[in-house]
Each structure stands twice: as structure tokens, then as C-alpha cells.
Amino acid sequence: MFQLELAVGLLTYNLICALMVKAVWQAGRSPWQLSFSRCWRRHWEALTMDLLLWVVTVEEDVQYLLQQLARCTLLRQPDKVVHEPRQVRSRWSSYPALRGDRNVARAKVLAEMSETSIS
């Protein structure tokens, strides 16, 4: 059942993306200008509410839907921060960097620990 739901979800996603591409191609716009969620809602409304009202041919239905999808542009976001490359700030390590052989460093730490335990 999960595989069936996943397949139907992917099929629906691809159908809406294909309709979006066809809509912007006919409108002469860029595909990056459309909002997927707005197009999905418009498509859902067309399937659930407007389907009973349409009494024209299938070609006219599709053209009407494509015209409606072409109007589903992204909202203007004047305060949106332009994407920057991801960088991580370096943090100070609470331990000193290991220099040289690990066995020598281990022996040195053990010697320091034994000196502090004696005193």
C-alpha cells in the first residue's frame, strides 16, 4: 500500500510539474516564476469544483487550466535574503591539537596524570 501511495504521489507531482512547464511555455515566462503550491491548489480546485461546471471540450478545459496555472506566480518577497554559499564558522577546540606520534602523546599525558595523583 505504501508503494502505491508513493507512486501516486510521484505521478501527481510530475503531472503538476509538466502542466506548469507547459503553462509557462505558452505564456512566455520562466518556470522559476511559478509557485508549485499555488499551481497544486489551482489544479485541485479545477478537479474538484470546476469539473462539474465545464461543459466544453477537453482541449478547451486544458487550455483554461493552463491559463490559470500561468497566473500562479510566486509572491514578491522584497526582504528575502539572497542565497549565499554555506560556510561553517570554525570553533575553538577544548582540547589541544595532537602533534607528533599518538603513543608519545599518550605516554606524556599518563606521566602528567601520575605526577598529579602523587602530589
Q: Are 103 and 57 in contact (CB under 8 A)?
A: no
Output the CA–CA distances (angstroms, integers) from residue 93 to 9, 67, 86, 96, 100, in the order listed.
46, 58, 21, 7, 18
- Give the other-Cβ count within 10 Å of 39's Cβ: 22
Mean per-residue pLDDT of the chain: 81
* pLDDT of res. 50: 60
Tens of pLDDT, residues 28-72: 888 888 888 898 988 888 877 765 555 556 667 778 888 888 888
* pLDDT of res. 46: 80
Task: Tell me which residue has cell 508513493.
Answer: 6
The percentage of residues in the chain with a pLDDT greater than 70, rounded to a whole number, is: 80
Domain boundaries along the sequence of the chain? 2-70
What's the pTM value of the predicted model, to 2 decimals?
Answer: 0.56
Q: Where are the alpha helices (DSSP H) in 1-118?
A: 2-27, 36-48, 58-70, 102-118
